[in-house]
Structure formats: C-alpha cells, structure tokens
Amino acid sequence: MNVGRGVLRFEDDKLLKGRGVFTDDLHLSGLVHLGFVRSPHAHARLRAIRTDRAKALPGVLAVFTGRDLESLCKPIRVEILFPNYKAPARPVVAVDAVKFVGDAVAVVVAESRYVAEDAADLVEVDYEPLPAVVDVEAALNASAPLAHPELGDNVFFKGEFTAGDVEGAFASADLVLEETFRSARVAGVPLEPRGCVAALDPGRGTLTFWSSTQIPHMLRTALADLVVVPGLSESRIRVITPEVGGGFGTKAHVYPEEVVTAALAFKLGRPVKWVQDRREELLTDIHARDHVYEVQAAVTREGVLKGVRVRILTNAGAFPSYPFGCTLEPTGGARMLPGPYRIRDYAYECYAITTNTCPAGAYRGVAQPTAFMAIEGMMDRIGRALGIDPAEVRLRNLIGPEEMPYVNVVGVRYDTGSYIASLRRALELSRYDDVRARQPSTRLEDGKYRGIGICCFTEVSGTGAPGFRARGLTRVPGFDSALLKVEPTGTVTCVLSTAGAGQGHETTFSQLIADELGVPMKDVTVLEGDTLGGPYGSGTFASRSVVTGGGAIVRAAARLREKIARIAGHLLEAAPADIVLEAGHAFVRGMPSRRVTVRAIAENAYSMTAKGLPEGEGYGLETTDYYDPPLVTMANATHVVAVAVDARTGRIEIERYVVVHDCGRVINPMIVEGQVHGGTAQGIGEAVLEAIVYGEDGQCQTATLMDYLLPTTMDVPSMIVDHIESPSIDAAGGFKGVGEGGVIGAVPAVTNAVADALAGLGVNVNRIPLTPDRVLALIERGASRAGA
Amino acid sequence: MREPMAQKVPIRITVNDVVHARGVEPRLLLADFLRHELELTGTHVGCEHGVCGACTVLVDGATARSCLTFAAQLDGARVTTVEGLVRDGEPQPIQDAFHEHHALQCGYCTPGFLVTVYELLAENPAPTEREVREALAGNLCRCTGYVNIVKAVLDAAGRLRAAGLRPAIR
C-alpha cells in the first residue's frame, strides 16, 4: 500500500537542480513585454492621459489606455445570486476613474521589460483627486466618501440570518459577554510573483496562455468571455500552468492583467509576457481579512455558551474579485464561526464594504482566522469571567463524538471529527496542566510574560457546488475531474482538473492511483494544469484538491477496474468478479499463477493482439469521472501555543507549538505535515507581524517586503504535529482537506496566548497583528492602571 | 527623454565554470543576466529589492543578491548558481537532505536557500540550530514554515561531516 506512507516527492529533483520551469522562465521567439502604469491616487478622476513621450521611446511598440482597450476587453463583472448585492463592473484598465492605489491606467508594450518600465514612467496622467474612503468602519458613516458614488452607499453586500431562540438565550443567560475583534489586512505573498505569457498561432487562430494560476479552467472560460476577438472561442484557448511558486489563494483569481495580456497577443500578433514585480503584488493582488467582528455571547454560570450574536464587517476593497466576489468573506465568517461548538441559538448580520483599497479575495483560510479569533477569544473571556480554565470551557462546549454526525446551526453537516480528542491530545502534548500549575498569577518571570493559548477549530475543505451556491457564487463549479487511462504499454496516465502550486499533487495522487489500480507507483504519471489534456474542473484552492481530485480518482478508478476485470476475466477465462489487481497484474482470486500483466490487458483493449476483447466491449482503457463533494467536508484541529512576551521590547517569542489535526484519511503524512507547518507559519505572521497599511488618504504604506513583514526562521519555531484520522463518511475516499488549517488555528491560538500572558495586567487583546509597538502599548497601559 | 541605454560594457565572467565574454547594459541586473542572457533560470527573482533571498548566488564564493548586483560590476568574477552546486553523478548531501526532509514545497525559494546553506556549511561545518536559523534569516519561504528546512540543514551538516566533506564552492 502506498496510501498512508510519507513517500518522498517526485517533484523535488528538478526543483533542487534549478530545472523547474516557472512562468518567467519561458522564452519565446519574438516575445514582447508589458508594463502597467499604476495610479498613485486612491480615488481620482482621469482627466487626460498623454502617451506620446512613452510611445517615442526606442523599443516601445504601443501604449494603450483604458479607453483604447474597451473594444478589446470587456469589463470584469462578478455575478452573485444574493438579493442584497450590488457592485460595479471593473474595467481591465481604468477608463474614467481610478479606485485604489495601484489601479492600472495604461499599459505599455515594449521589446524588453526594462524599456516597458521606462516607458510606463513616461506616460503622463492628469488626475483629479477625489475623496477616498479607506476604513471599513468609517465607510458606513453617513458622511463617508463613496467609493462608487453611483451605488449610493459603500455596501456591496449585506447578509442576515437567525436560527433558534436567540432572544430567549440572551434573556435567560447568567452572563452576557461582548467584545469587538479586529484583524489587519494581509497579503498572500507567494514567493513567485504572478505572471502570464500569451502566444497566438495565427494560422489556426488558437491562443496558448501560460499563467501562474490555481484555476486554469475557470481562467480559460473567463478569457473566452472577456477577450473580444472575432473568431476566438473557448475551444481555441489552451491554458497551461507551468511550475507555480506558491499561490495561497491569491492566484485563484482572474486578474485584469491576464485579460489584457491575452487580448494584446491578438492585437500585436506577437507573443506577450507580463510578470509583475513585488510592489505590484503587494498593491494589486487580492488582499484579505481587514474584518471587524462584534460578538455577543450568552453564557450559563457553568460556562456553557447558549447563544451568539455577531455583526461582521469585511473590507471588500474597490471591486469584487473574480470569481469569488465579495460574499465569500462575510458569509464565510458568519457561517464558520460556530465551529466545533454546540451553538443552536445564533444570529448574524454581515457586510461586504467597498472602500478605495485593493480588492479583497480568497487568501488561505478565507474568513476563518478572524472568525475563530472571535469565537476562541470569547471562550477565553468566558473562562476569565467565571474563573474556569479555558481548556475546560471548551470541553463543556465542544460537540462530542456521540453527537456525530452533527448538523450545525447554519445547516452544515459535520460527518466525522475529533473535536474533544484533538483538544485532549494537544493539551497532553503541550504539557498544558504543568504550564498552568507553574504559571504565576502575574505571568511574569525573568522579564517575560508567559502565556498559553488554545484554538479548537473546524476547517471547511473540499467545498462542492452546494457550498458555493450557498455563498451566492455562480462561476465556481465546485466539482473536479480526473481522466484516468491505461496506455497501450501498460503505464497509467491521470489528467486532473486541479492545479498545484507546490503542494506535491504529483506524489500524493500517484500514491492513490497506484493503490486504486494495483500498479507500481513508477508506472503512474499525474498531469494537471493544462486545459487541453483533461476535463473541466474548479482547480486548487480552499483545501479542496485531495477531496475533489482524490474523489474523482477514486470514482474513475472504480470504473476502470471494472473494465480491466472484464478484459482480464476474458483472457484468464474467469469471472470478472474473481479478478484481483495487484503489482501491475491481474490474477484470479486464490490462484496467483493464473495472471496477466496490465500491459497485456491494455494491448487487448487497444486491439494489438489476436485474442481481442470480450463480446460487446469497447476499445480503449480510459475513463473520465467527476466528483462534486457535499456542501463542505469538515476537517478539524487543535493548536496549543506557549509564548513569552518580552516586557522590555514587546517582542513575542513562541516557546512551544503543538498541532493535533484531523484531515480524515491521510495519503501522505509527510506532505500533510508540511501543509500544517506552512499554514501555521502564515498564521503566526498574521498574528504578530503582517499588515497591509493604508494611510487615511488611501496611500498604501507597505508596498515592499521591508514594510510588509513576513515571518522568517527567527519567528517560526519547531512544531509538534500529531495526526488523528477520522475518515469522512460523506466524501468519496474518506479524505478531508488540510491546506488552510494551519493559518486558521495559529491566528487565534497565538492571539489567545498573548492575551493569557498579559492577563495579569488586565488589558484587552482584541486586535491583530500584535506587533511589538502594540504589545508595548498594552503593557504600559496595564502598568499605568496598576500604578493608579 | 532619458538617455538611451545602448552603451554596453564588456565583461568576462565565469558562471558555473563556464567563461562568458559579453557586452551588457550598465543597468542589467545580474539576476536578469543569468536568467535571460545565459538562460540559467534556476536563480529566481522574488522581490527585486533584496529582501526575499530567492535570487541568492555565490560571487567569488560569498553569497550575493543577484537582484541588487549589476552584471557590469562582475568583470573577472566567478559566479555559482543553483545549477552549478552539483554535477550529475556527484554526491549532493544538501539537496538529498532537502528532499528527504521535505524541505521544499513550491521550490521557488529553494535555489536561494541552497546557495545560502552552501556558504554556511563551507564556513561552519557543525552549526547549532540557532546558527542555522540566523544564517537563513535573510531567505524567505512562504510554504514550509522553515521547520523542515532547519532539520534538513542540520542533517546535511552531519552527513557532510560523516563523509569528511565540505561543500565545494566553484
């Protein structure tokens, strides 16, 4: 068996030798390069654009303004099936007004990227600055400037929901707690910036489009819809993903630059490349978080949570992003907040607010890090208010194994899970009781405040069509697909609709396919990220690939095994039901010597032998299958983290980190742990370092990696990672996703640990990131209160 | 209108043991020279402002950010990129350790890490975990959380010591 083993990755060799081919590594003859002119204003009317000096620069082929591109590219419109939704279409390059710093106003085409950037500096734009709205809370004030005056207010979307007896729960509560939690705006920052290359075959009228994307099929559909060229159809577009250097959701969107690059390949008749620089990534790739959660909790004196009300504001930025729009974060936060807890009386109100900032989108974890910061923050507050240990508060509220499967208050079914078991195991591995027993009430020892924080959470993974429809989305199919075939020589090829960006899909899926078909792993080739070779599907994002791609493989393999068994039965003169597949052979059950190789079976299927096929059997040995998982496939985990806060510097040091996670049936534990490590590091960054900062004028103050701080080796500790496997009973194959859990757990766990460390000071920790200046301010506030 | 950049500077540069005599624009970055003129695309560009470390190469045996270095500065220099760290058939304990410890995911930052680790282990064959972390603090990875990278480097150091080897810097 290969499933369950930490098989070393097939992907590594080329990457360790510098032979991986990423988008910017593509060299095509006659290639031209794009450089975008970007707005320095958050909100301004475009009065005039002068391009003559740019066009005169040697090496410049053309300069296009938004007006010039209107006939070539349709604006990007995001349809959302909710009544309380309104949003403008986004021109691929601004036409009348710019809406955020970094919004494109013109694009230069030149013989080299150096010249393209020189020429972009020579484009003269006459801006008439307009009032900008930036802050998500201020945007709701009646006097706030409007990001899109034609909408009448700054609300793209409002959602509301009530279930159970919320009023009754609050009326009968022993204790009502209220808190407001705020998360900073963050960026995905994959190490490989985004880019794309478009090449036209003028004779055939076909377009080959390489992009650093996570959604090749959805991108192809969008290009077909948005690029206006006579004769161009989706059938004539092929999207290929080369090696993709990380994505984390930022590359699971269709961006204006992709549409422009494709259109200009037609316009110019030469291959076109665009590769962004880091400044463009930080200014214009989707941002995330920037949420406010106003939570009220009705609690019994035993610490049992009876009812929850929450009002959620999310900053959608200047435009909805394609294809996820602006409803993913508000509805996601609201729907995911109940998490692993037994909450039956629940009401929410959630908003997507437009501002003159970069569009927000689906970054690893989506709404969950802030949603769990809120509910896990309330668990700790319940403990502090009632004098109950925070671990015990959680144990009193977690859904127990005897209650599974459990349908939560918003209608999401948790089929299996280990909410209590994962908490107990994490407490044990972190020696939680010892830490608590030794902890002084001041939390202060040798100049450091020490605290320990917990996060118990569910992780939405493998979202299927009903899950996306519940969030109002129509352009995200939900399913994924696998084309699985045995070639005439007996090797196995699998083409998937998923598109990895470093997750090790080739290895993981090879392990699964080898087991499903009883062939050696070396005979399996997994291909993805090419729309020509395989069937349609959603792509890779939101912890979905092992659920959806794995499910598609399981289904396709079952059908293929049936055909293999029929042909093998015909060759071995046995009933197909008696055929066993193992180690590249088919044999008759109980008679291993009566066997035939998979190659011999394939030769029959492809009509290369005298024996031929059984009566009525069709040629070929391949099948395509699709898998659309249930609403969502719910994974879970617990993080426990011990921190030391330097009383003098405010710097947070992580002293111990424990993760006990449960993603159902594990194919490759090594790769799963890698996902947990990486996600946790991103969550630590989000909790203590990372923030995209806009000034009041809407200027982005964090457009370099000197200003937007990522965690380094000095910030991320070693971790203890333990697995519990509760295989899904709803999803094919029993798999649950794991990609986002790390970040979801780390943000609340670290925040709670810092709050615990500072608990002796009586200060309130309700806002991230906990940068040294903020932490010092909290410590000083606590000290002055103690002195007063 | 700014000055045309036509004036090229002649350089003679040794990259991975191969001598190249070229004329380069004064402003051509070493990273772009390696990637687009020599087609050595293993060196990756992550930020173009010297923070992320993905573009790290060895210049005369010491690490340098090829996104902050002009090719024209390097007349007479010896440059080693990720492609030059190992040759087919030779042992590659650092790369093997990265593979066996799952110390890479997307692989985009990996060349910069490997080059930095070569320098570290050439100078300090028995680093502590703290020393490994400090040596790698100038290289960003967004996928791995560094957990397995640190393990791989400590293991690679042990393998090199056991074999009586030091990383060869060309």
Q: pLDDT per residue over A152-173, tens digit each?
A: 999 999 999 999 999 999 999 9
The kind and range of the H/E element at A298 are strand A291-299
Taking CB atoms and an 8 Å limit, are A16 and B54 in contact across chains?
A: no
Mean pLDDT of chain A: 97
Q: Are A467 and A541 in contact, with CB atoms under 8 Å apart?
A: no
Q: Do B102 and B80 belong to one domain?
A: no
pLDDT for position B165: 87
Q: Is the pLDDT of residue A115 over 80?
A: yes
Q: Do B81 and B15 belong to one domain?
A: yes
CATH number of the structural domain spanning residue B150:
1.10.150.120
3-state SS class at A159: strand
Assigned domain for B167 exists: no
Q: pLDDT-derived band of residue A758, with 50, 70 and 90 as boundaries?
A: very high
Output the six-digit token pair for A43: 């909100």
Task: Write out the E strands in A663-771.
Answer: 720-723
User: Helix/strand/coil (H, E, C) string of A561-605?
Assistant: HHHHHHHHHHHHCCCHHHEEEECCEEEECCEEEEEEEHHHHHHHH
Assigned domain for B2 exists: no
Taking CB atoms and an 8 Å limit, are A671 and B102 in contact across chains?
A: yes
A14-30: average pLDDT: 97
Question: By mean pLDDT, which of A321-330, A556-565, B125-134, B159-168 is the weakest?
Answer: B159-168
Assigned domain for B169 exists: no
CA distance B143 to chain A (A): 5
CATH number of the structural domain spanning residue B44:
3.10.20.30
Q: Is the pLDDT of residue B89 over 90?
A: no
Q: pLDDT-derived band of residue B37, with 50, 70 and 90 as boundaries?
A: very high
What total number of domains does chain B contain?
Answer: 2
Q: Is the pLDDT of residue A180 over 90?
A: yes
Residues 6+ apart with CB under 8 A from A457: A339, A340, A368, A372, A376, A636, A637, A638, A639, A741, A744, A745, A748
- What is residue B50's DSSP assignment? S
Residues 6+ apart with CB under 8 A from A43: A97, A98, A99, A100, A129, A130, A131, A132, A133, A145, A147, A356, A698
User: CA-nearest residue of chain B to A670?
Assistant: B102
Indicate where chain A has its CATH 3.30.365.10 domain(s). 287-465+630-787, 479-627
Q: Which of A744, A776, A745 is nearest to A758 (CA)?
A: A776
Q: Do B126 and B152 belong to one domain?
A: yes
| Top-confidence residue, B23 or B165 | B23
Taking CB atoms and an 8 Å limit, are A705 and B52 in contact across chains?
A: yes
pLDDT for position A247: 98
Q: Do B98 and B80 belong to one domain?
A: no
pLDDT for position B169: 62
Beta bridge mates, A604: none
Instruction: Please give the interface size between A and B, counted as residue pairs whose CB atoms are below 8 Å apart.
Output: 179
Of B54, B85, B116, which one is at a domain's C-terminal end? B85
Handedness of CA B139, B140, B145, B148 (dihedral sign): negative
Q: Do B112 and B64 belong to one domain?
A: no
Q: Which of B83, B95, B146 has its CB closest to that of A713? A: B146
Residues 6+ apart with CB under 8 A from A424: none
- CATH class assigned to A287-465+630-787: alpha beta
Output the six-digit token pair for A300: 């019994």
Single-letter residue type at A172: S
Q: Do B46 and B63 belong to one domain?
A: yes
**Strand order across the beta sheet in which A291-299 lies:** A155-163, A345-354, A305-317, A291-299, A175-182
- What is residue A124's DSSP assignment? E
pLDDT for position B90: 81
Neighboring chain B residues of A682 at a CB cutoff of 8 Å: 142, 145
A673 contact B CB<8A: yes
B5 contact A CB<8A: yes
Q: Is the pLDDT of residue A473 over 80?
A: yes
Neighboring chain A residues of B28 at a CB cutoff of 8 Å: 114
Taking CB atoms and an 8 Å limit, are B99 and A8 in contact across chains?
A: yes
Q: pLDDT-derived band of residue B132, with 50, 70 and 90 as boundaries?
A: very high
Q: At A90, give phi and psi (nearest 5°).
A: -110, 115
Q: Is the pLDDT of residue A178 over 50?
A: yes
Handedness of CA A688, A456, A634, A545 (dihedral sign): positive
Indicate where chain A has its CATH 3.90.1170.50 domain(s). 12-130+192-245+251-284
- How confident is the model over A684-700, as pLDDT tens digits? 999 999 999 999 999 99
Taking CB atoms and an 8 Å limit, are A706 and B51 in contact across chains?
A: yes
How far apart, in whole angstroms, are the C-alpha atoms of residue B98 and residue B156? Answer: 8
A306-319: average pLDDT: 98
How far apart, in whole angstroms, are the C-alpha atoms of residue A133 and residue A131? Answer: 7
How far apart, in whole angstroms, are the C-alpha atoms of residue A200 and residue B73? Answer: 38
Taking CB atoms and an 8 Å limit, are B132 and A713 in contact across chains?
A: yes
Q: Do B68 and B126 belong to one domain?
A: no
Of B85, B101, B136, which one is at a domain's C-terminal end? B85
- Report the number of secondary-structure helices (H) and strands (E) in chain A: 20, 31
- CATH class assigned to A12-130+192-245+251-284: alpha beta
Confirm whether the ipTM is greater than 0.90: yes
Taking CB atoms and an 8 Å limit, are B104 and A17 in contact across chains?
A: no
B150 contact A CB<8A: yes
Q: What separation in angstroms does the CA of A440 have from each of A450, A640, A755?
A: 9, 19, 15
From chain A residues 734-763, the ones with a CB under 8 A of any chain B CB are 742
Q: Which residues form the domain of B80?
A: 9-85
Q: Do B100 and B151 belong to one domain?
A: yes
A16 contact B CB<8A: yes
Q: Specify the CATH number for A479-627; select among 3.30.1180.20, 3.40.50.10680, 3.30.365.10, 1.10.630.10.
A: 3.30.365.10
A671-690: average pLDDT: 98
A621-646: average pLDDT: 96
Q: Which of A181, A208, A218, A217 is nearest to A78 (CA)?
A: A218
Q: Do B113 and B72 belong to one domain?
A: no
The kind and range of the H/E element at A677 are helix A669-688
pLDDT for position B5: 54
Q: Are A158 and A71 in contact, with CB atoms under 8 Å apart?
A: no
Beta bridge mates, A483: A495, A624
User: CA-nearest residue of chain A to B88?
Assistant: A17
Expressed in angstroms, the distance from the first to the final Cα of chain A is 67
Of B85, B104, B123, which one is at a domain's C-terminal end? B85
- How confident is the model over A190-220, as pLDDT tens digits? 999 999 999 999 888 999 999 999 999 999 9
Tokens 């930052």 belong to residue:
B109
CA distance B48 to chain A (A): 7
Q: Do B53 and B105 belong to one domain?
A: no
pLDDT for position B170: 55
pLDDT for position B1: 42
A76-97: average pLDDT: 95
Q: Is the pLDDT of residue A658 over 60?
A: yes
